[in-house]
Structure 1
């Protein structure tokens, strides 16, 4: 039985952050990773000479929590303004989020939205769910035309079943002052980000892995025993003093010995994931495109977002080629195969004006992400702290998007991993 002072489950950004912190503190640590390589959802792939973040583009948003990652990239860190747009039939491309770019709407539409926002915010009622929060923030016209269809497409569930509090820290939340300013003039981008000048984010993952201590790959966790302080993974057993987990919280509960059966059942019913399918596509020719990402509220369009790699980072596509990454939210119903859906995606893509002049599709890669986004269901924000407090009594600390069931970005996940180690060993 291998004995480790700090045992870390998962080598995504949170797990790597935990490994980096354990090494900084001089602790004996080991990371167990189910996949053959580190990185979690930040793994790269090259298709027809074009570089992709295989599970959809990930960027380092510029803010205090990302400074360490940017410093690690050093001279390879390239700073960009984030230009995102929404495609609306009959109106073309409008800045994303639309509520921040009302000046780009036709005057009559803009006046209607402003009037409804004024009424909604001056007469706030009780807000019990995400649908009601959207209505109380932006009024019925903008909600019915843009926000409801887009959010329902993204989350694949009734918005009335969702907690709204997660949205307060996301781009969908725009304060009234900015809404009014954006109705008068075109606002500059509200966010900036960093991306490697050369290559994709797998280079950053490599730099973190070098600093995160030992990593044992191809070691999926199959059991956690808090009483014995052991973890079973890859056919071996490890004894730990402190355990840091970035595994999906619902899966961790399911594999924890002696866990309360009623609480486990409640966890299974409440903690659910949105799955997505990502199609990485390379087309012949260089096509000028608008936006780092284009969002599609219309129900008639099957995908919800198209990321444009040449705008995200000019070094990603090979010369003479155009590369895009298309994300499709996967509902609970029957799904087509990736091959069948790929044909439908390309066919729909070519009907949209700015993509209609694409050359032939040269090569593609399609991948399903079973646990892409934690569904922000009503009751989640009360249940997760209950679980994490229980685990902390056993000296088990959770971190990352999956481990905390928190819809957070990669820099936040990384810092959560570091913080979990500090809390565990002090």
Structure 2
């Protein structure tokens, strides 16, 4: 019987493991470099009793399969929320999506945005890159006030180096008549998007989902196994603790460029292609405060340069158990996300204090609340987003056929290097689908972009 090894206990590795177990396969095993389940979807409890996620995750799904797995894992122990999302700009709040709700802007900015919309020219489908696409879809005003500064903060790369093919359902495009109607009738337009409702576990943060899934096959997971060498010819792995394992098929979820660097005898063309893959890094700063915060917002976007972060989550609103003893009358928590990259360096030693000052600058904290901060928690993420650059698909077209010819399947947010299918549900299903492919020759609609819900 052929052996299948899995590297990484994040959503993709767990999706593959769940599927292999469900199909009754015996000869498989999963290796994780840390002691933690969940990868980029893990959660942590700090010394003060606050729970923090690795970024602002919300649970929504495109797949019946994933929904069933989550329902079994949580057994009904979740909260369901209506998304309330805002943009902080020009000292006011604009409901998300920004482009549908520009009526909230000051008059000068509103006029600039409308003028840009009315002067749109050129087909978005002919745009050469993401920056050009923004100009053709949103016009100069919206690009100036929101799209350009916000995306620069998120991605940390020059926007003309990004492709436009990744966008899909992630950006609400323009309907000028609808926007003018919203302005005239003074109505908000906030229901766009796949995550306008979402779930969140009662306790344990997002990581509780994946910890529960993993309990079904805990005996098949080896922790503290950092991959250090891949002998493709021999189909053998080496780990930092000296362990060596042979495989027939390998599912790897670690960053693709790192994996290629661990492999022996890789063609120079593959190494060169891997060197062209671009990612950014992230810093999650959790600020736990003593006091009550009455603010129904879920998460907020910050395009301006008076703060380092691009997004802040009222994390206490997701679950009361994200604060000590579940007591939101005594505590609240703000989870702040900042991007770092070679184009956008961040001083890690000062990130906590610059974050706190940014919260005050943006009206999220008062000076008196600064004095009541009791938790300052930092999660440093070396690989945060795989950037969909103009040359990404060309690079992947060199790397993946070679790896798969060697029995290696690189999947997941950084394994597949496809941001557009890097949500938790997408990532989990990449694992499910690649397991089906290895065993049954099935298609992989998520990673190829050729399928719908399943």
Q: TM-score scaled by structure 1? A: 0.91
- Whole-Å Cα distance in 2 between the matches of residues 162 and 133 of structure 1? 10
- Whole-Å Cα distance in 2 between the matches of residues 117 and 315 of structure 1? 44
SS state at 2:390 partner:
coil
1:372 pairs, out of 370, 377, 384, with: 384
- Bigger mean CA offset, 301-310 vs 311-320: 311-320
Conservation of the 8 A alpha-carbon contact between 1:150 and 1:298: yes
Gap change, CA 1:353 and 1:124, over 3 Å in 2 = closer
2:205 pairs, out of 200, 205, 213, with: 200
Please list the CA deviations of residues 182-241 of structure 1 after superposition, one character each: whole Å capped at 9, or x if unmatched.
555312433211111233122211211123460110001111222211111231111111
Conservation of the 8 A alpha-carbon contact between 2:306 and 2:361: no
Conservation of the 8 A alpha-carbon contact between 2:95 and 2:190: no
Gap change, CA 1:79 and 1:181, over 3 Å in 2 = farther
Name the structure 2 match of 1:51: 51
Q: CA deviation at 1:347?
A: 2.0
Q: Tell me, which stretches of 5 or more residues in structure 2 are unaligned?
A: 441-454
- Whole-Å Cα distance in 1 between the matches of residues 38 and 413 of structure 2? 13
SS state at 1:371 partner:
coil
Q: Quick check: 1:341 aligned with 2:351? A: yes
Q: Quick check: 1:402 aligned with 2:422? A: no
1 or 2, which has the higher strand percentage? 1
Conservation of the 8 A alpha-carbon contact between 1:181 and 1:187: no
Name the structure 2 match of 1:240: 247
- Whole-Å Cα distance in 1 between the matches of residues 413 and 37 of structure 2? 16
Gap change, CA 1:243 and 1:106, over 3 Å in 2 = same
Name the structure 2 match of 1:187: 189
- Bigger mean CA offset, 71-80 vs 126-135: 71-80
What is the 5 A alignment of 1:8-19?
8-19=6-17
Gap change, CA 1:182 and 1:217, over 3 Å in 2 = farther
Q: Quick check: 1:296 aligned with 2:302? A: yes
2:433 pairs, out of 402, 408, 419, with: 419
Q: CA deviation at 1:311?
A: 2.3
Q: TM-score scaled by structure 2? A: 0.86
Cα RMSD after superposing both structures: 2.3
- Whole-Å Cα distance in 2 between the matches of residues 217 and 180 of structure 1? 56
Name the structure 2 match of 1:215: 221
Gap change, CA 1:204 and 1:96, over 3 Å in 2 = same
- What is the number of equivalent residue pairs in this alignment? 419
Q: CA deviation at 1:29?
A: 1.1
What is the 5 A alignment of 1:100-119?
100-106=100-106, 109-110=109-110, 112-119=112-119
Q: CA deviation at 1:421?
A: 0.8
